[in-house]
Amino acid sequence: MDNGANSYRRFLDGDDNGFVEIIKEYKDGLIFYINGFVDNIHIAEELTEDTFVKIVIKKPVFSGKSSFKTWLYAIGRNVAIDYLRRHYHQTLSLDDYQKLTQDEESLEQSYIKEERKIIVHKALMQLKPEYRQVLWLTYFENFSNKEVAVVMKKSVHNIETLVYRARLALKSELDKEGFVYEEL
């Protein structure tokens, strides 16, 4: 059981410090993950809060079939998709929505400290949302393909294919900028 699961169990047993630990550990990563859906850092922060509020109020069961982080990100993904459906009055795929605002730079730069990561992040923003999502979960959040499959509700084989295609697309974007990223 990972630390998030232990903290959540303590929270369910009445220890509010367990929930504080969960927020401290997962808040920033969850904000940037959700931002990949809504493309507005302020809305992503609100949806992250909504995710945590949902956990506090509904106290959903964590079965342990995946890591706590995978489970939490799956809840965050559902909150983001629900938001998009409500605010755009149509069923949206991840490819259908447009950029909302460009005011996320200062917060992103505080989170992504090195220049190389900033360049990679900007190239990621040029990719299809599904590609951004799979690369973010795989490389920034260190999820396994199995965990990414759970979050994105796809098969492991689909995730492997998506990772391959997303890496090629990211390499192409980086090449346009004249940047060579050895790890791709």
pTM for the full model?
A: 0.61
Give mean pLDDT, residues 142-170.
92
CA angle 161, 78, 56 (to 5 degrees): 135
pLDDT band per the 50, 70, 90 thresholds, residue 105: very low
- pLDDT at 184 (0 to 100): 45
pLDDT at residue 181 is higher than 80: no
pLDDT at residue 115 is higher than 90: no
- pLDDT at 99 (0 to 100): 41
- pLDDT at 90 (0 to 100): 52
Mean pLDDT estimate for the chain: 80
pLDDT band per the 50, 70, 90 thresholds, residue 146: very high
Give mean pLDDT, residues 101-117.
45
**Phi and psi of 167, rounded to 5°?**
-65, -40
Give mean pLDDT, residues 50-58.
94
Tell me how long the chain is.
184
pLDDT digits (tens, 9 = 90+) for 9-52: 999 999 989 999 999 999 999 998 999 888 889 999 999 999 99
- pLDDT at 64 (0 to 100): 82
Q: Contact, 121 vs 112, CB < 8 A?
A: yes
pLDDT at residue 112 is higher than 60: no
Amino acid present at 161: T
pLDDT band per the 50, 70, 90 thresholds, residue 116: low
Please name each of the domains of the chain with its CATH number: 1-106 (1.10.1740.10), 112-178 (1.10.10.10)
- pLDDT at 94 (0 to 100): 46
pLDDT band per the 50, 70, 90 thresholds, residue 97: very low
- pLDDT at 70 (0 to 100): 87
Output the furthest CA–CA distance in the chain (Å, rounded): 54
